[in-house]
Amino acid sequence: MKGKLLGFFALSAIAGAMGSAFAQDAAPTLTAAEKEAAKKIYFERCAGCHGVLRKGATGKNLEPHWTKTAKDGTKTEGGTRKLGQGRLEKIIGYGTDGGMVNFDDILSKDEIALMAKYIQNTPDVPPEYSFKDTMDSWKVIVPVKDRPTKQMNKFNLKNMFSVTLRDTGEVALIDGDTKEIRSIVKTGYAVHISRLSKSGRYVYVIGRDGKLSLIDLWMEKPAVVAELKVGFDARSVDTSKFKGYDDKYAIAGSYWPPQYVIMDGDTLKPLKVVSTRGMTVDGEYHPEPRVASIVSSEIKPEWVVNIKETGQILLVDYSDIKNLKTTTIESAKFLHDGGWDASKRYFLVAANASNKIAAVDTKLGKLAALIDTAKIPHPGRGANFMHPKYGPVWATGHLGADVVTLISTPSDKKEHAKYKEYNWKVVQEMKHVPGNLFVKTHPKSKHFWADAPQNPDKDTAESVAVWDMADLSKPKAMLNVAKDSGLPPTKATKRAVHPEYSADGKEVWISLWGGKTDQSAIVVYDDATLKVKKVITDPKMITPTGKFNVYNTQHDIY
């Protein structure tokens, strides 16, 4: 993987031409070995927020005209002093209140100094990735005709969890009933999401290195049956779910190159590659409009494809792949993650640089609302529940603000007509802390959970907040997951991340994400009592992060 990873940051000569307008001062020099090491760290730890070209999105712009120290002490056109080596090292090491995580427990002092130097140099531009490159990477490990015709294991697949093992490039399939690891599957690096086929048989997982893996849960020991590399950096995948097209197609989106790939759903054979380069909602061309979240509508044969940098939401009609029809909806920058409302008609997505939530009416094919929120909304898929006063609401947390935002969502149910006046309004801000990544609840639960792994305070990052639905004025409890795990304390922060419910809504699973050399764990809580039921540990379970319950993911329950 290292060779591909480093090749990802080639063609620095092109980058030099692109960035020459900002090269007023000499950047710190790097040896060839230092530069290669810095490229690898940047790809693994930084590119997701700041972009391959370092133009910024969720994270700040890191091009040299912002990061280099000016010799004469001048300020930029925005009035902000250029950062320079010392300031950059402090930001990288200790993080910021705006959601930048501290890296002093992840990187050494030398690595922090190296990264401060690296981002003062002109970014490299990675190579393109063609349809031929995509096709050449395609592998069918178990042909469809050789796959089981029925479930060959006795696992309760509805309560299986697909757990990302971030730093090993693997997914652990954990039995939700027994809490045993049933299979550890080699996938791409730092799998971002696991998505289920409409049938519930296949798990599609995509790594940040662009590798897409198709896992067959019906096999005696679930394993990868097909794989494809869709680009050099990726985040999103889904299948076709409209009646008559069940799992016929799959789609995966890339951060680099900025494009998406349509493929056969059961083999991953590439059928079409579509570029997303173009104009932003502000009317300017952007060279790196990355594909953020993708979801599949069950109202029409369409995918909702969110283009981060342009602020454009695409409704891609897959009923005729050769004559692809796309509806472009203008929203706001920079689009990130999102999820369905309770009715599954409206898709809500964070435009986190604009501090807005965009809501798309997939039935009418147009923007339903653009809602102002607190700083840097980051919903994951969000959370749906019935508010005691405002009716159906969808929730998002924030990286940069100390609240959880509740937005009223429409409903066709007669008994919900009295809530119509609140629709698409922020009806409440629940007190929380900055640095939240994921919020979660369940239709059978009376609780609402929110993490804060990006908060710079160690105890806060190692804890989760829980609210009682009957009283959302303040958290009912702050659970220190690191302490509850019983693992020995470490200097490094064990970040409590990504609450996920069991299929029956009775358990909540929290990952403890430590360093590669630290013992990690998944702490399972009883949702009713908030007491620890089980701590799942295993030497093979390294840096667990996202967990995706098969049934809940299959049916968009959150």
Record the tokens describing residue 150, joined without a space.
């029925």
**Residue 187 backbone phi and psi in degrees, to 5:** -135, -155
| pLDDT of 83 | 80
Please give the class, per CATH, of domain 434-558. Answer: mainly beta
Is residue 231 predicted with pLDDT exceeding 80? yes
| Residue 124 amino acid letter | D
pLDDT tens-digit profile of 175-222?
A: 999 999 999 999 998 899 999 999 999 999 999 999 999 999 999 999
**Residue 506 backbone phi and psi in degrees, to 5:** -95, -15
DSSP SS3 for 441: coil
Annotated active-site residue 160? The verdict is no
DSSP SS3 for 346: strand
255 contacts 231 by C-beta, under 8 angstroms:
yes
Annotated active-site residue 286? The verdict is no
| pLDDT of 484 | 98
Model confidence at 72, pLDDT cuts 50, 70, 90, reads: very low
Is residue 525 predicted with pLDDT exceeding 70? yes
| pLDDT of 380 | 96
* Mean pLDDT, the chain, whole residue set: 91
Record the tokens describing residue 386, joined without a space.
């019935």
Beta-bridge mates of residue 49:
none
Using alpha carbons only, how large is the chain's radius of gyration in Å?
Answer: 22
461 contacts 495 by C-beta, under 8 angstroms:
yes
Give the integer Cα–Cα distance in Å for 213 and 428. 40
Percentage of the chain with pLDDT > 70?
92
| pLDDT of 536 | 97
Record the tokens describing residue 71, joined without a space.
């010799």
Give the integer Cα–Cα distance in Å for 540 and 181. 10
Record the tokens describing residue 94, joined without a space.
């200790």
Span 291-299, average pLDDT: 97
Model confidence at 23, pLDDT cuts 50, 70, 90, reads: very low
Alpha helices, DSSP H, located in 358-425 = none
Give the integer Cα–Cα distance in Å for 334 and 42. 20
Q: Which residue, 174, 307, 199, is CA-closest to 250? A: 199
Of 115, 192, 286, 378, the active-site residue reads 378
The helix (H) or strand (E) run that includes residue 175 is strand 170-175
Strands 495-501 and 193-196: unpaired
| pLDDT of 386 | 97
Annotated active-site residue 336? The verdict is yes
Of 100, 160, 430, 541, the active-site residue reads 100
Annotated active-site residue 50? The verdict is yes
185 contacts 212 by C-beta, under 8 angstroms:
no
Span 470-491, average pLDDT: 95
**Residue 500 backbone phi and psi in degrees, to 5:** -140, 130
Q: Domain ranges in the chain? A: 2-118, 434-558
Sole residue written with tokens 């609240």 = 403
Strand order in the sheet with 439-440: 439-440, 447-451, 463-468, 477-480
160 contacts 182 by C-beta, under 8 angstroms:
yes
| Residue 151 amino acid letter | Q
Span 67-84, average pLDDT: 58
| pLDDT of 518 | 83
| pLDDT of 102 | 80
DSSP SS3 for 508: strand
For residue 222, the Cα-to-chain-centroid distance in whole angstroms is 24
Question: What are the strands, taking DSSP E only, across 74-135?
Answer: none
Q: Which residue, 364, 333, 327, is CA-closest to 349? A: 333
Alpha helices, DSSP H, located in 462-548 = 481-484
* Burial (Cβ within 10 Å: 0-12, 13-18, ≥19) of residue 364: exposed
Model confidence at 103, pLDDT cuts 50, 70, 90, reads: confident
Strand order in the sheet with 223-229: 139-140, 223-229, 211-216, 202-206, 193-196
Of 192, 336, 398, 498, the active-site residue reads 336
| Residue 488 amino acid letter | P
Model confidence at 6, pLDDT cuts 50, 70, 90, reads: very low
- Output the CATH code of domain 2-118: 1.10.760.10
Give the integer Cα–Cα distance in Å for 369 and 356. 10
216 contacts 173 by C-beta, under 8 angstroms:
no
Give the integer Cα–Cα distance in Å for 306 and 295. 9
